Structure 1
Amino acid sequence: MSAGTGEEPFEGDERQYSPTRLEGWLQEVNGPDRVQPMQLTRAQLVDLSPRELLRHNDRREVWHANIGPIHTPQLLALHADLGEIVESNRQDGDKTKPAALVDAYPGLGKSTAVRDYARSLHRKQIALRGETTPSGHRRIPVIYIALTGNTQIRGLNAAICRFYRLPVSGNADTLAERAVDAVLSMRTVAIVIDDVHFLAGSRSNAIRMANQLKYLANVFPVTLIYVGVGVQQRGLLREGFLPQDAPLAQFGRRTTPLTLLPFQVEDEAGRREWRTLLKTIERMLVLAEKYPGMLADDLSDYLYSRSTGHFASLMALINRGCLRAIRTGRERLDVELMDQVKNDAAAEEARRELAAAIEAGLLTTRPGVRTGQRRRSA
């Protein structure tokens, strides 16, 4: 109990872990789904004791910060493509398994989408084959590592060993052998390497790193799933060769590029997808003054211009807006409140052009609404 209060301590539902460590990854894979907090009216909020209100608001804040992943058409398409690559890679150990590269702009939720697929793959493998390998080791079907801006070949191998809780002493070759033994003994089938663009620097560095990734593909009987930004433009798939020499690059032949697109509202199908997304998010918000159409009708154009169709920017904006709505007692999202919410620099820089196009009637997010005429004031 809390000292001096006689009440049980309240830790809330924040889950602090790193998915780049085995314990954290297992928590992400096996952790229970969050339960949406109760939807209370304003009168019910007033009836709560001060401590009950603090707890309720804390639950709401954590909930809004962790909405998702939402299975949008873009995410489902990416999952289908990843599944086709990973689950067709049933080659014996003497054959190299083709890799996947998810290469997309920042802020589209690609890391979240890939981890969501990897989580499902991990669970599927455990359900099919059990938690223990025939030799008695713990089965780890999927591992997840993220690179940093100064990652070298040894650092890449060390990140894999660190995930498995193995020693990280020794040179690059020693670490690689140690990692291979772990992959084989724990029956890993896929390795997700996030922020792989940090490996693509100079031409000579791209050649060295591509050779290292080819080595990993040769010695690890797994599917490698790379995630990064602008990887193809940086030349990693070409292994540092000039564009005209790209056919000489083995790494590019072994890697299938995939992407995740931002939401677009230039056609009716895109506008319907955007509306469906906002309606889905709207149902998940826990605000006393929430109402049908709060996002999908009244804030549709506004949220698109402020997020520029990028999922991460949209969710950051809504999360912060909900926090402000709770703490100010407004308990709803509207333009006046959202104008006070700051968003990421890229979204804020790009919003002016979109907002001008919407105001001029040249662009709309609303299905069934024709563009080309200036919108009338509501």
Structure 2
Amino acid sequence: MEPFEGDDRQYSPTRLPGWMQEVYGPDRVQPKHHTQAQLADFSPRNLLVYNDKREVWHANIGPIDTPQLLSLHESLAEIVESNRQDGDKTKPAALVDAYPGLGKSTAVRAYGRALFRKQVALRGETTPSGDRRVPIIYIALSGNTQIRGLNAAICRFYGLPVTGDADTLAERAVDAVLSMKTSAIVIDDIHFLARARSNSVRMANQLKYLSNVFPVTLIYVGVGVQRRGVLREGFSGRETELAQFGRRTTPLTLPPFQVEDELGRQQWQTLLKTVEQKLVLAEKYTGMLARDLSDYLYARSTGHFASLMSLINRGCLRAIRTGHERLDKDLMDQVKNDAAAEEARKELESAIEAGLLTSRPGQHTPKRGRKSA
């Protein structure tokens, strides 16, 4: 009996080999749908293999081209791909600032993957000097990152030594950027540079340093960065560093799904229908998510894409392993979700039960907080 390794793909996009795997890795193939009767005819071994394929498939659904994601990609392209300034000019940066659980890192990496492929298709896999062409790179920060840590993360991505002081690491990283024709750097978890509001000037100084040293477009991704005043306070004239950073940075966001109006409800329904088509469960039926679980899933995910997909992924796992082979409220009630979604769940469920909120298009509901006539 030959061993079955499965389709798990373990890599880190913060290292060049892992990033290349994300950029050029083959698209996953959706497993074939089988009925309960067909599953009953599988040998124990074949059923194990089939279920393993379904489990890894459900865990990796996405990214999905939601209106929010497409809008973000359009804005990123406008900023990044218009930055054709010569090396003596500082390129404007982008800041994707949004709440946790909305899929912003996945969305930005998806844009980076598309840009990488586009540039290589246009200019070739190697540079005129014979180096590998790496148009865009991705790094993620950790707590209390300083200038040296930023430079080390870039060197580590390229597989360069991380010994030496901040200036030595910067020189090493810049050489790699120039030789591999890197034009954009995604810096995720940028909020770790400023855990407190009082650190906004220090954060602006570090990011200003990056924009001065690296002749690339910087794409920052973080949580609550604008709340710390990094983009606002400089306009009052109190801090030169903040003013410079604010003028050079365009804020973007990735909003959650909302069902307060008809357009929002239609977008939510479209998302559920798209996800439903990708599920591989023997007892799946049309309307399983978009009709029968629409309000339920909205309340449990609070409109956050990552929370929704975690909930559905875990639900599918439970449906497969129990033989239930479908998603319904009874099964989903047994599935745990992230703490933030569960904390906000009760208020949304109460509003839905009271008729003050619905996720279904074509159903008018009074505005929340007001009594209906």
TM-score over 0.5 for the alignment?
yes
Residues 241 and 82 (structure 1 numbering): CA distance in 2 closer, same or farther, change over 3 Å? closer
User: Equivalent residue for 1:4?
Assistant: none
Unaligned runs of 5+ in 1: 1-6, 374-378
1:235 is displaced (CA, Å) by 2.8
Q: 2:246 aligns with which of 244, 249, 252?
A: 252
1:366 is matched by which residue type in structure 2? R
User: Equivalent residue for 2:353?
Assistant: 359
Residues 96 and 324 (structure 1 numbering): CA distance in 2 closer, same or farther, change over 3 Å? same
Could you list the structure 1 runs, at least 4 aligned residues long, displaced by more than 2 angstroms after superposition.
201-209, 235-238, 240-248
Contact 1:299–1:334, Cα closer than 8 Å, also in 2:
yes
1:215 is displaced (CA, Å) by 1.9
User: Equivalent residue for 1:212?
Assistant: 206
Question: 1-side partners of 2:200 and 2:146: how far apart?
Answer: 11
1:306 is matched by which residue type in structure 2? R
User: Equivalent residue for 1:376?
Assistant: none
Q: 2:166 aligns with which of 163, 166, 172?
A: 172
1:219 is displaced (CA, Å) by 2.3
The count of residues paired between Structure 1 and Structure 2 equals: 366
More divergent stretch after superposition (85-94 vs 211-220): 211-220
1:372 is displaced (CA, Å) by 4.2
Q: Does 1:99 align with 2:88?
A: no
1:95 is matched by which residue type in structure 2? K
Per the normalisation by structure 1, the TM-score is 0.94
1:152 is displaced (CA, Å) by 1.3
Q: Does 1:234 align with 2:228?
A: yes
Pairing of 1:95-134 with structure 2 (within 5 A): 95-134=89-128
Unaligned runs of 5+ in 2: 368-373
Contact 2:201–2:239, Cα closer than 8 Å, also in 1:
no
1:218 is displaced (CA, Å) by 1.7
1:53 is matched by which residue type in structure 2? L
Pairing of 1:1-378 with structure 2 (within 5 A): 7-202=1-196, 205-237=199-231, 245=238, 249-372=243-366
Indicate the SS of the match to 1:245: coil
**RMSD across aligned positions (CA):** 1.5
Contact 1:131–1:138, Cα closer than 8 Å, also in 2:
yes
Residues 244 and 95 (structure 1 numbering): CA distance in 2 closer, same or farther, change over 3 Å? closer
Question: 2-side partners of 1:231 and 1:197: how far apart?
Answer: 6
1:323 is displaced (CA, Å) by 0.3
Contact 1:200–1:235, Cα closer than 8 Å, also in 2:
no
Contact 1:97–1:223, Cα closer than 8 Å, also in 2:
yes
Question: 2-side partners of 1:132 and 1:286: how far apart?
Answer: 40
Residues 303 and 244 (structure 1 numbering): CA distance in 2 closer, same or farther, change over 3 Å? farther
2:323 is matched by which residue type in structure 1? G
Residues 164 and 330 (structure 1 numbering): CA distance in 2 closer, same or farther, change over 3 Å? same
Percent identity, aligned pairs only, is 80
1:249 is displaced (CA, Å) by 1.5
1:138 is matched by which residue type in structure 2? R
Residues 288 and 366 (structure 1 numbering): CA distance in 2 closer, same or farther, change over 3 Å? same
Indicate the SS of the match to 1:193: strand
Indicate the SS of the match to 2:228: coil
Question: 1-side partners of 2:86 and 2:235: how far apart?
Answer: 33
More divergent stretch after superposition (214-223 vs 53-62): 214-223
Residues 246 and 364 (structure 1 numbering): CA distance in 2 closer, same or farther, change over 3 Å? farther
Indicate the SS of the match to 1:227: strand
Indicate the SS of the match to 1:233: helix
1:320 is matched by which residue type in structure 2? R
1:213 is displaced (CA, Å) by 1.6
2:227 is matched by which residue type in structure 1? Q
Indicate the SS of the match to 2:186: strand
Question: 1-side partners of 2:13 and 2:236: how far apart?
Answer: 36
1:85 is displaced (CA, Å) by 0.1
Question: 1-side partners of 2:25 and 2:180: how far apart?
Answer: 21
Indicate the SS of the match to 2:63: coil
1:151 is displaced (CA, Å) by 1.1
Indicate the SS of the match to 1:139: coil
Indicate the SS of the match to 2:226: coil
